[in-house]
């Protein structure tokens, strides 16, 4: 913990006296006091809700609350919520928690609504203060509305959570825990598990690493000014040559928008931990780079070091889906021009082996073919048949349609389900991502290639009040479905195609921001 200032702030934390340094935010103080349920997802923009706690019984976003404002008041975190265990069971039962990073704050928000006043409308309205990239909201709402008598506690819990974790790993592309504890914030994230004596390293405005005894101290030393949202318009950086196209598509820069910002820690001479500790971040994280930074700094300082990106670091430095322009002819042949990216040609040709693929140099942030279904989904949408079926390169298939009321209907075939709740949750999450991507997601990138939209609310992620109902039918082959494979990427492709069809095949994504 940082040394107390001349005017330390005293307050009550989870029923016990607490004191921390004036000048902190409430989130900084809570983290230094060992509270890990409150997460730092926007660093600090007050826009993601991951750090929500109660102050005198009312929900408050801790990252933009000066600690001085809670002097003499009572702060409650998930650690002391009386029915926290029940909320963990609810979220796990419905699939309302996947990686679990945003869930503690969501629980604190929804638990503040008296049970008698919880309706679908009131829950979705309360969730406007939050973002969740994984679940697509619907399973969170289901958890909040689950009657207490139906919450599976103790002997009522009959799921095989090992099989559930196997399905989650297939869908997320990385090892992932499935349990009620994950919903309570115990996913094992690097920023939560770093040794208590770790130094903290952050990037300054010149891209150099600055080390401090605490996150607050490191940020103060970095001198970085908080990023903002631009008023500039979106750009579509790749053009398609003229041709006899029956349908064309241009895409722009989009942000993967995972909630847990990249973090990794390491002891001197040790092996780094992070940034992929629970879930795959949709292929968007930077892999081993941050771990190498943590190890280098730990060796230099002979202390454990936790290296962390801020939200704007993630936007500027994190990998993006390669923007492209593509056209299909009446005979099914086509051309794709795409930002030069290792592996992207093979990804596109996995669904369109005869298509011409041209890589072009584009000034902008780094791109990756590892980002969820990059390249092949766009082409699959161009080629999608009227019956809505799409087959992914791994053999999984999905069908999607959007009815006149906006409800999304999905059917998925991806081998043995292993766990219906997890598979359904990932399919709804994939539908959420696809709908947002086609309709409204995008970030502005300047002529210099630097992203201008640096706040998490600027990405265009669909809010809870905007997310339609998604009906998921799992085709288990009558109990003989074969080896399990990832199914949510096929759903992502099928829903993207269905949403595009429902919107009249506008030639640019996002269709509502052209």
Whether residue 213 has pLDDT greater than 90: yes
The Cα 283–Cα 78 span in angstroms is 29
pLDDT band at 274 (very low <50, low <70, confident <90, very high): confident
3-class secondary structure per residue, 256-324: CCCCCCCEEEECCCCCCECCCCCCCHHHCCCCCHHHHHHHHHHHHHCCCEEEECCHHHHHHHCCECCCE
pLDDT at 378: 98
In the three-class reduction of DSSP (H, G, I as helix; E, B as strand; rest coil), residue 104 is classed as helix
What is the share, in percent, of the chain residues with pLDDT greater than 70?
A: 97
Q: Per-residue pLDDT tens for 342-369?
A: 999 999 999 999 999 999 999 999 999 9
Predicted confidence (pLDDT) at residue 2 exceeds the cutoff of 50: no
Q: Please identify which residue in the block is written with the tokens 């322009």.
A: 325
DSSP 8-state code for residue 410: E
- The radius of gyration computed from the CA coordinates of the chain, to the nearest angstrom, equals 23
Please say if the pLDDT value at position 199 is more than 70.
yes
pLDDT at position 158 is 73
pLDDT over threshold 90, residue 501: yes
Q: What is the pLDDT of residues 98-138, one digit of tens each?
A: 999 999 999 999 999 999 999 999 999 999 999 999 999 99
Task: Give tens-digit pLDDT for 429-486.
Answer: 999 999 999 999 999 999 999 999 999 999 999 999 999 999 999 998 776 779 999 9
Return the pLDDT at 368: 95
Smallest Cα–Cα separation from 430: which of 405, 466, 467, 394? 467
Q: Residue 4: is its pLDDT beyond 60?
A: no
What 3-state class would DSSP assign to 4? coil
Q: What pLDDT, in 10s, does the model give residues 291-310?
A: 999 999 999 999 999 999 99
- In the chain the domains, ranked by start, together with CATH numbers, are 9-80 (3.10.20.30), 84-188 (1.10.150.120), 372-513 (3.30.365.10)
How are beta strands 356-360 and 9-13 bridged, if at all? unpaired
Given this model, what pLDDT does residue 1 score?
A: 45
User: b/e per residue, 277-296, with b = 16+ CB within 10 A?
Assistant: bbbbbbbbbbeeebbebbbb
Query: Residues 168-198, buried b or exposed e (16+ Cβ, 10 A)?
Result: bbbbbbbebbbbbbbbbbbbbbbbbbbeeeb
Averaged pLDDT score across all residues of the chain: 94
- pLDDT value of position 44: 82
Q: What order of strands is seen across the sheet that includes strand 209-212?
A: 209-212, 199-203, 305-308, 263-266
pTM above 0.85, yes or no: yes
Q: Among positive and negative, which fits the CA dihedral 377, 356, 394, 410? A: positive
356's enclosing H/E stretch is strand 356-360
pLDDT at residue 18 in the model: 97
């Amino acid at each position: 913990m940082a040394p107390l200032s001349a005017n330390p702030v005293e307050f009550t934390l989870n029923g016990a006296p607490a004191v921390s340094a004036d000048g902190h935010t409430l989130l900084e103080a809570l983290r230094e006091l060992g509270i890990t349920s409150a997460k730092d997802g926007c660093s600090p923009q007050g826009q993601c809700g991951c750090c929500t706690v109660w102050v005198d019984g009312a929900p408050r976003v801790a990252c933009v609350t000066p600690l001085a404002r809670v002097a003499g008041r009572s702060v409650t975190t998930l650690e002391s919520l009386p029915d926290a265990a029940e909320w963990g069971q609810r979220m796990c039962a419905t699939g309302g928690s996947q990686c679990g990073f945003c869930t503690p704050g969501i629980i604190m928000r929804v638990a503040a609504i008296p049970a008698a006043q919880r309706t679908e409308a009131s829950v979705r309205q309360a969730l406007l203060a939050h973002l969740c990239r994984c679940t697509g909201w619907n399973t969170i709402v289901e958890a909040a509305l689950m009657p207490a008598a139906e919450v599976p506690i103790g002997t009522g819990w009959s799921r095989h959570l090992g099989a559930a974790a196997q399905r989650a790993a297939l869908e997320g592309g990385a090892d992932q825990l499935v349990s009620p504890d994950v919903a309570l914030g115990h996913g094992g994230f690097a920023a939560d598990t770093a040794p208590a004596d770790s130094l903290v390293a952050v990037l300054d405005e010149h891209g150099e690493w600055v080390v401090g005894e605490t996150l607050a101290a490191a940020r103060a030393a970095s001198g970085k000014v908080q990023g903002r949202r631009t008023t500039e318009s979106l750009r579509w950086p790749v053009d398609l040559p003229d041709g006899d196209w029956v349908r064309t598509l241009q895409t722009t820069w989009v942000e993967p928008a995972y909630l847990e910002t990249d973090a990794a820690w390491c002891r001197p001479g040790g092996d780094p931990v992070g940034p992929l500790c629970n879930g795959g971040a949709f292929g968007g994280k930077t892999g081993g780079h941050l771990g190498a930074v943590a190890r280098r700094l730990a060796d230099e300082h002979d202390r454990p070091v936790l290296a962390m990106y801020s939200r704007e670091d993630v936007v500027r430095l994190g990998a993006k889906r390669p923007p492209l322009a593509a056209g299909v002819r009446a005979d099914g042949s086509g051309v794709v021009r795409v930002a030069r990216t290792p592996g992207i040609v093979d990804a596109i040709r996995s669904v369109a082996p005869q298509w011409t693929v041209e890589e072009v140099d584009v000034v902008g942030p780094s791109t990756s073919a590892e980002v969820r279904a990059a390249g092949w989904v766009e082409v699959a949408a161009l080629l999608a048949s009227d019956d809505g079926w799409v087959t992914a390169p791994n053999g999984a298939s999905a069908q999607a349609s959007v009815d006149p009321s906006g409800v999304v209907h999905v059917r998925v075939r991806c081998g043995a389900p292993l766990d219906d709740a997890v598979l359904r949750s990932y399919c709804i999450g994939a539908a959420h991502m696809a709908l947002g991507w086609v309709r409204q997601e995008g970030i502005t990138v300047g002529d210099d290639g630097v992203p201008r939209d640096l706040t998490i609310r600027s990405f265009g992620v669909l809010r809870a009040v905007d997310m339609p109902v998604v009906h998921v039918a799992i085709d288990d082959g009558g109990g003989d479905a074969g080896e399990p494979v990832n199914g949510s990427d096929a759903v992502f492709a099928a829903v993207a195609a269905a949403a595009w069809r429902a919107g009249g095949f506008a030639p640019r994504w996002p269709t509502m921001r052209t």
